Amino acid sequence: MKQERSNIKKILGLLEREYKGAKVALDFETPLQLLIATILSAQCTDERINKVTKSLFKKYKKALDYADADLNELEEDIRPTGFYKNKAKALKNCCIKIVDDFNGKVPDILEELITLPGVGRKTANIVLGSAYGRQAVAVDTHVNRVSNRLGLADSDDPDKIEEELCGIIPEDKWTEATHWLIQHGRKICNARKPLCVQCILKNHCKFYNTKNLPQRHGDTEILKTS
């Protein structure tokens, strides 16, 4: 059952109080840098990506630099990120299209961004929200998990989740709310062992209130009944 709108306001208020000022964890200065970092971040930690891009961004400054790069050399430059062969091809092909079709500038329109090789709606919305200052909901694994557990969404399809969240979160909060949900997923609502007892949202959470989850009282755990 989906959350009532009154609960959604309370959830967003609590998230804002806890994570106000949260932003994308990837280091970047330009839309191109964020695009590159986001593509590289698949199946890799943000911390490792930031270490790799620190030198990568000094070597490759423009889309043309990636487009003209020797593929084997680019693979070695990004090897620590994992799946480096596929990622190198994606980066090179993405930047070739940016150079050929968009005059070397990362597009700032969703429909154009998703035409780039290696770029889906999540990556496009991250670039729009964090590099271009637009309002956008980016559905990563954390947003998927947390929004479903809270009852803000009811789907495993990222595109459907994005649509559902955009329908209930005020548009002027889309980008911020994305960061709040991601931070909450990392800090509290993790995949295997969510810290439900510590969660500021437990009283408004569908997952917590429909499962027999342990509640701690001192050193004693008792089962919560539905």
Give the active site residues: 122, 140
Q: How buried is 89 (Cβ within 10 angstroms: 0-12 exposed, 13-18 middle, 19+ buried)?
A: middle
- 34 closest CA partner among 130, 135, 138: 130
Report which secondary-structure segment, H or E, holds 222.
Answer: strand 220-223
Q: Which amino acid is at 140?
A: D
Please give the Cα distance from 148 to 193 (Å, whole number).
16
Query: C-alpha angle 81/191/19, rounded to 5°?
Result: 85
Which residues on adjacent β-strands are paired with residue 222? 215
Q: Which amino acid is at 201?
A: L
Give the DSSP letter of residue 3.
P
- Which backbone phi and psi does 215 adopt, to 5 degrees? -110, 130
Region for 55 from its dihedrals, namely left if φ exceeds 0, alpha if ψ lies in -120 to 50, beta otherwise: alpha
Please say whether the dihedral angle defined by the alpha carbons of residues 110, 114, 116 and 120, taken in this order, is positive or negative. Answer: positive
DSSP state of 196: G
